[in-house]
Chain A
Amino acid sequence: MTREQAPLHPFRRIASDFAESRIALAGLALLGLIMAVALLAPLISPQNPYDLAQLDILDSRLPPLAQSDGGKTYWLGTDDQGRDMLSGIFYGLRISVAVGVASTLAALAIGLGFGLLAAYFGGWVDTLVMRIVDIQLSFPSILIALILLALLGQGLDKIIVALVAVQWAYYARTVRGAALVERRKEYMEAAAGLALSHARIVFRHLLPNCLPPLIVVATVQVAAAIALEATLSFLGLGLPITEPSLGLLIANGYTYMLSGKYWISFYPGVALLATIVSINLVADQLRDVLNPRLQK
C-alpha cells in the first residue's frame, strides 16, 4: 500500500471496516452500555445494595416488578437479604469487569515482556520461555487456577494472581509469533544498522508493530477472565462475600432456585452472558479488521 492510495488514518480505516458488520456494531453498543453501567454503578443504581440501612429484610425474595412498602419498584426482584437485584447486578458487573480488565492488563504486560524477550534474543531464552508456555497451555485454565487458589487461599489479590498466571502464556505466545515475523523485516535491520539501543528498537520499533494480534487476543481474554472469575467465585474459591461479583450473586441464588425463585440466579447470569457475548462479538470483528491478509 503506497501513501497516495491510503490517505486514511489507520484508526479511521479500522473504524470504517469495523462498522461494516451490523452485528459487531450491536455488540460494541452493548459493550459500551455495560461498561457505562459498570463505571457509573453507584450513580445509577436504585439503591446501594451494600448499605444495610437501605435494605429491608421484609422485602426479601420478592419476585420481579414487586413493590416495596415505600412504593419503590424492584424491577428484577430482590434477594434473600431484601437487596434490589438490579442494583446488585450493577455493582456485581462493576467488580467483574474491574477484575477481568485488571488481570488482563497485568497478564498482558507480563506476557508481552516475556514474548518480546524470547523473540528478540532467541536462543536459550526463547527455548526456556516457550517451553514453559507450551507446558502451561497443555493444562486447562481452570485446573491451573484451582491449583493456585488451593495453595494461595481466597481473596481479591489472589484471584487476580491466579487469572494473571492463567493468561500470561497466551500473550507471550502471540507476541513472540508476531515479533518473529516483524524481526525479519527491513525496518528492523535499518534500526539495528543505526546502532539504536536494544530498548529503543524493542519498544519503539518492534512493539508497535506487534500490537494488532495482541489487541484481538486481549479482547477475547477479558471475556475469558470474566467467565473464569465468575466460575471460581461460584465455586466459593474466588472473591470474598464482601466483594460480590456476578458469580457470587448467581451462587447466592442457587439455594432458592429449587423453590422456584429463579430471578436471584437468572438475571445476574444474563448480565454475565451479555458481557461475554458482546466482548466476543467485538473481538471477532476486530480479528477480521486487524488481519492484514483480509485487507482490501
Chain B
Amino acid sequence: MPVTIIRRLLQSLLVLFVMSLLVFAGVYAIGNPVDILVSPQADQAEIARATAALGLDRPLAAQYWVFLRQAAAGDLGRSFAFNVPAIQLILERMPATLELAIAAMLIAVVLGIPLGLWAGLAPDSIAGRTIMTGSILGFSLPTFWVGLMLIMVFSVWLGWLPSSGRGPTLELLGVPVSFLSREGLAHLLLPAANLALFKLALVIRLTRAGTREALLQDYVRYARAKGLSETRVVGVHVLKNILIPVVTVVGLEFGSLIAFAVVTESVFSWPGMGKLLIESINMLDRPVIVAYLCIVVTLFTVINLAVDLAYSLLDPRVRLSDAAT
C-alpha cells in the first residue's frame, strides 16, 4: 500500500512537472515578450536593457528555474489587461465556477438516479425507452448548442429566466454565491441545467445498468421471497448497492465539470474562471492563461490522486490488480 501511494504521488509530481515545462515552453520560449512590452520606437540598447531586466538574456534552464520558483511562491505574473496578479484574478472567479459545477452535479444526481431506476425497473416500458432515448440524445447533443436553445426557449420566447450573468450575489462565509436569493437562483438554473445535461445522461445509464444487474442478484430474490414491499426492495436493497459505483463516478466527473464549464460560462456569460480563460486567450493575456492552466491542472491532479487513493483504500480488488501489473 505505501508503495502505491508513493508511486501515485511521484506520478502526480511528474504530471505537474511536464505541465510546467509545456506552459513554460509555450508562453516564455515561443515568441518574445519584450516585443509586446517595449514600445515599437525603442532602439537596440533599450531592447537589450528590457531583455536583461526580464532575465531573458539568461540560459533557458536558468529562466525555467526562475519561473518555477516564482510559480511555487504563487507568483504567476500580473495580468496585462487588468494589471493585478493573475492568480488573484483566477481565485476571484473560482467561486462562481464551483457554484455552477456543484449545482450541475446536484441536478444530474437528483434527476438521474430516479430516472435511471425507473428505466432499469421497467426497461421495456414506454417510459423506460423514452428515458434511454433521452440519455442517448444527452450524449450526442453539443453542449453549447443546447445552451443557445435553452436561452432561445426560456429567455427569448417564454421570458421566464434571465439569459446571462450571475444575478445578485450574497455572501456565504465570505464567499459570494448566487443560490441564496430568488433572482440569483433564476440566473443559476439555465447554466446549471445546461452543464448538467451530459452528466445526467451518464448517471441515468449507470443507474439503469446497475439496477438491471442488481435485480438479478440472489439478495433481491430473497428480499422479495421474504414478502418485503416493492418500495423497500428497490429503495433499500437495490438502491444501496448501486449507489457505490454512481457516487464514485460522480466524484471522478466533478473535475471534468469544471473543465466543461468553460463552454457553459461562455454561452451564459457566467463570470467564472472558464469565461475569463476564453477572454484572456482572445486578449493574449498570457499570465492569466498560465495561471488558469496551472491552477486547473493542479486541481485535477489532486482530485485524481485523491480518488485513486480513496478507491484503493476502499476496494481491495483495485490494490490486487495494481500489484499484478
Contacts and interface: CB of A to CB of B under 8 A. Distances in A.
A266 interface: yes
A230 interface: yes
A277 to B, nearest CB: 5
B15 A265 contact: no
Contact of A269 (B14, B22, B149): B149
Contacts of A120: none
Interface in A127-180: 131, 135, 138-140, 142-143, 146-147, 149-152
A140 B256 contact: yes
B142 A227 contact: yes
A262 interface: yes
Interface in B250-283: 255-256, 259-260, 262-263, 266-267, 277-278, 281-282
B44 interface: no
A258 B140 CA distance: 25
B26 A231 contact: no
B142 A231 contact: yes
B151 A258 contact: yes
A224 to B, nearest CB: 10
B140 A280 contact: yes
Contact of B278 (A135, A151, A237): A237
A250 interface: yes
A254 interface: yes
Nearest to B261: A142
A49 B14 CA distance: 49
B139 A280 contact: yes
Interface string B114-156: 0000000000000000000000110111111100110110011
Contact of A250 (B11, B144, B155): B144
A207 B143 CA distance: 36
Contacts of A257: 148, 151-152, 156
A210 to B, nearest CB: 21
A273 B143 contact: no
A61 to B, nearest CB: 15
Given A143-B300, A250-B145, A269-B145, A151 B15 contact: no
Interface size class for chain B?
35 or more
A180 to B, nearest CB: 12
Given A235-B262, A235-B263, A236-B282, A276 B140 contact: yes
Contact of B140 (A152, A235, A259, A277): A277
A139 B155 CA distance: 34
Given A230-B142, A265-B148, A146 B156 contact: no
Given A135-B15, A143-B296, A269 B266 contact: no
Contacts of B144: 230-231, 234-235, 247, 250
Given A151-B22, A258-B163, A280-B136, A265 B262 contact: no
Nearest to A139: B300
A269 B142 contact: yes
B289 interface: yes
Contacts of B282: 236
A247 B142 CA distance: 10
Contacts of A146: 259, 262, 277
25 contacts: A138-B300, A139-B297, A146-B259, A150-B26, A150-B277, A152-B26, A227-B142, A230-B144, A234-B263, A236-B278, A237-B281, A250-B144, A257-B148, A257-B151, A257-B152, A258-B156, A260-B157, A262-B152, A262-B156, A265-B148, A265-B152, A272-B142, A273-B141, A276-B142, A277-B137
Interface of A: 131, 135, 138-140, 142-143, 146-147, 149-152, 223, 227, 230-231, 234-237, 247, 250, 253-254, 257-260, 262, 265-266, 269, 272-273, 276-277, 280
What 9 A-B pairs have minimum CB-CB distances, sorted nearest first? A151-B26, A269-B145, A140-B256, A143-B259, A140-B259, A276-B140, A277-B140, A234-B144, A138-B304
